[in-house]
Amino acid sequence: MMNDNMLSQDEIDALLKSTDDNDGDSNINEKETQDPPVDDYLTTVEQDALGEIGNISFGSSATTLSTLLNQKVEITTPTISVIHQENLEAEFPQPYVGVEVEYTEGFSGVNLFVIQSQDAAIIADLMLGGDGQAPAEELNDIHLSAVQEAMNQMMGTAATSMSTVFTKKVDISPPAISVLDVEGDQGTETINEERIMVKVSFQLKIGDLIDSNIMQILPVEFAKDLVDQLLNPPADEPETVEQATENKSQSADKPTTSQVGQQSSNPSQQSGSNNGPSHIGGKVKNTTANIQQAEFSSFENVELPEKEQRNLDILMDIPLKVTVELGRTKRSVKEILELSSGSIIELDKLAGEPVDINVNEKLIAKGEVVVIDENFGVRVTDIVSPTDRLKKLN
């Protein structure tokens, strides 16, 4: 009831109660969409163990990536959190790139690595021989293949490090890469069945080009399995009774160290003669050693395993810049400023002399200039061996 346009105390109390109820409902809805605390799913020890696994595996991967990109690469200590499946789209809005890795030996599980598209474009540009300063605005298949190969090399190194840590062979499948589209189930098919997932976030720095994050997403059960195998490695199989008996009988037939010492301390008693000391190995039969020249397999025309051949095929699609150099010369600043239309610049090569063919600024062949229809071309007259060509491309 209102008196002189004023609210009564009962009306004010009713309005306040209604506001409180609405706030309570809002908080409930917000709580339902929030990511749960990591402590609800992983103990402090499990979080530390996951961080240590990440440090070891990605520490070695940083060295591999640095060699591939010819840039300083730093990957910092990871942070561990959990993500609700419903929040994946908000956590990774487009544009992001997902790289899916499946363990084929040592572990049974799949994890997803997520990086920003801009970072992936810079890595692709560096892999293709660029300087990373002007990456492509939109990733095409060639760029994704280059990033895929970089991640393949990184994860291969990480698997080797994990083999050492877990004292067993660890192997992975070739990574599958795609532009991440959570809403369209692209790039997240294998983890979409998981309600709660663990996120391991690393800070990634590549020279002055990238200062961002690379994130690893894996199911909670797989994360717990990794920790369990790290903290509770399987015990060695006990020796069987037959093996123990056999080893015992073999050891009984062999003289002990003290017995060997007693036998060698008085050689005259052993030989029955005092003509001089016996020499260890003096009675070894002198035979002529069969020495042969070492033979090594040729690196050319080698049949590679299917997995390695598939990795090599990825590299075969990477484009390289081929340039033909007619010649060079040096001119002063004054002479350069005096150039005009019609000026002639004399080069240091003679007419008819072979021109240089460079791939990524490295000389790999020489040739002669020809004309094909209305275009210039080069006929190769001299080229380095495939092995030397590969060395020059590194």
Task: Indicate the pLDDT class of residue 293, thresholds 50, 70 and 90.
Answer: low
Whether pLDDT at 196 is above 60: yes
Residues near 196 by beta carbon (within 8 Å), at least 6 away in sequence = 36, 41, 82, 83, 84, 85, 220
Task: Indicate the pLDDT class of residue 269, thresholds 50, 70 and 90.
Answer: very low
Measured distance CA(272)–CA(182) in Å, rounded:
89
What is the helix (H) or strand (E) element at residue 155, kind and residue range? helix 141-166
Task: Indicate the pLDDT class of residue 159, thresholds 50, 70 and 90.
Answer: confident
Q: Answer whether 0.75 is exceeded by the pTM.
A: no
What pLDDT score was predicted for residue 338?
Answer: 86
Q: Which domains, ranges and CATH numbers included, belong to the chain?
A: 38-231 (3.40.1550.10), 320-335+347-392 (2.30.330.10)
What pLDDT score was predicted for residue 191?
Answer: 57
301 φ/ψ sector (left φ>0, alpha ψ -120 to 50, else beta): left
Task: Indicate the pLDDT class of residue 180, thresholds 50, 70 and 90.
Answer: confident
The stretch 110-122 carries a mean pLDDT of 89
Task: Say whether the peptide bond before residue 386 is cis (omega within 30 degrees of 0).
Answer: no
SS3 call for 136: coil
Radius of gyration of the chain, Cα coordinates, nearest whole angstrom: 35
Question: pLDDT per residue over 26-75, tens digit each?
Answer: 443 443 457 778 888 899 999 999 988 888 888 788 888 888 898 999 88
What pLDDT score was predicted for residue 32?
Answer: 44
What pLDDT score was predicted for residue 259?
Answer: 44
Is residue 340 within 8 Å of residue 371, measured between CB atoms? no
The pairing of strands 73-75 and 96-105 is unpaired
Measured distance CA(192)–CA(194) in Å, rounded:
5
Least confident of 16-30, 41-55, 108-122, 324-338: 16-30
What pLDDT score was predicted for residue 209?
Answer: 92
Least confident of 129-143, 276-290, 313-327, 362-376: 276-290
SS3 call for 353: coil
Please report, rounded to a whole number, the percentage of residues in the chain having pLDDT higher than 70: 65
